[in-house]
Amino acid sequence: MESTLRRTWAEVNLDAIAYNYTKIREKIGSDVKFLGVVKADAYGHGSIQVSQLLEELGADYLAVSSADEALELRVNGIKMPILILGHTPKEQVPRLIEYGITQAITCKAKADEYSAEAVKAGGVLKVHIKVDTGMSRLGYLCDNGYFDTGVSGIVEACKMPGLEAEGIFTHFAEADEFGQANDDYTKHQFELFTRVISAVEEQLNHKFKIRHCANTGAVARFPETYLDMVRPGLLLYGYGEFAHQMGLRPAMTMKTTVSTIKIYPEGTAVSYGGMFVTDKPTRIGVLPYGYADGFLRSLSNKCSLYTKEGPAKLRGKICMDMCMIDITDMPTVDVGSEVEIFGEKNSIDDLAACAGTIPYELTCAVSKRVPRVYYRNGEVVDRELMLRM
């Protein structure tokens, strides 16, 4: 990894994540549990390193998308509760029981399968019931005339052998959007969710241990939705408008270096398709950073990257393994000079807005060939290259 480190790399500031965790904890209060969302390799930040940190800090739960992601954490020593939010094939149920992993149940078919496999394995699978209150994706449908059938289906699942229904949850579709209609929709989802819980608990004659629904937008804007546990994603990593409002710190900085410098005459087309043509003699820096590293091609010829002399405009189309910046008026930027793709000086929020997307997509897009370097107290504490060496 050392030989590739100065090509293109990501720096992950664990102190920033710890700071964000503490600030969010202060906001939600000591009686509310904290679930750290670490799916998709902790949105590109490193699921093992982030989970180790959250476990150390006293978080209550982790959430992943798949059994493979959950098992990766377990075999790397993570002992705290883990919830799988996505689909798990029924054949994996014995492993979930063996490793103490919690599974989301989203419909009768899944409940039937998981119950049968748990009984066959001679164990008990801890589950959280997913309620579809308006995301229209996964969960027991309880809106628009389906309240009674949804409630009865959840009650049935909670009573199935081999299943321990520890929790119940839903997911907000518009909590991070501004406007009265968006707010009303979130409040409708929350009201429906609490009605479902009340109806189910009344029929079961016992209460769920953990009720959760507050994602990043809800944590920032709707404190009434905190219930027993919150699930902040973007907030934890310090990105987005809500993170800025709360004074949170971005956790990742992407860097590369200038590998080659060329001076082209006026009228030279740069990169594929000739999207950019020089209008004067132009000094171009070639960077070993392209869409195979996670640089969205939609940013071609649109954004700037940050050099020691300030922003340098991206020129031409982004290639698989490289891109080009204009350093005509930057005489001290030379081969080997460091360039910030996003970070403290080149906001990922601005870059995401330029691409018409969200910061999540940019951090998740950082590919496995980009080494991650982890910092704590200003010192490198870990390095990871996901390529097989």
Placement of tokens 């119940």 in the chain: 168
Is 320 annotated for ligand binding?
yes
> What string of H, E and C letters represents the secondary structure of 281-299?
CEEEEEECCCCCCCCCHHH
Q: Pull the structure tokens for residue 237.
A: 């990593």
User: What are 282's strand-pairing partners?
Assistant: 264
User: Can 272 be counted among the known catalytic residues?
Assistant: yes
Residue 219's H or E segment, with its range, is: helix 216-221
Helix (H, G, I), strand (E, B) or coil at 266: coil
Residue type, 371: P
Neighbours of 184 (CB within 10 A): 11
Q: Write the Ramachandran bin of 189: left for phi over 0, alpha for psi from -120 to 50, otherwise beta.
A: alpha
**C-alpha to C-alpha distance for 33 and 61, rounded to whole angstroms:** 8
351: exposed, middle or buried (Cβ count in 10 Å: 0-12, 13-18, 19+): buried
Placement of tokens 């996505």 in the chain: 86
User: Can 21 be counted among the known catalytic residues?
Assistant: no
Q: Pull the structure tokens for residue 4.
A: 């590739």
**C-alpha to C-alpha distance for 346 and 359, rounded to whole angstroms:** 13
- CA atoms lying within 13 Å on the CB side of residue 16: 23
From the candidates 159, 207, 262, 272, give the one annotated as an active-site residue: 272
- CA-nearest of 200, 92, 112, 197 to 160 is 112
Is 252 annotated for ligand binding?
no
- Do the bridges between strand 323-326 and strand 310-313 make them parallel or antiparallel, or are there none, so unpaired? unpaired
Q: Write the Ramachandran bin of 251: left for phi over 0, alpha for psi from -120 to 50, otherwise beta.
A: alpha
From the candidates 21, 33, 39, 237, give the one annotated as an active-site residue: 39
Q: Alpha carbon 345 to chain centroid distance?
A: 22
Q: Pull the structure tokens for residue 3.
A: 């030989």
CB of 316 within 8 A of CB of 276?
A: yes
The catalytic site residues sit at 39, 272
Binding site residue list? 137, 320
Positions at the binding site for substrate: 137, 320
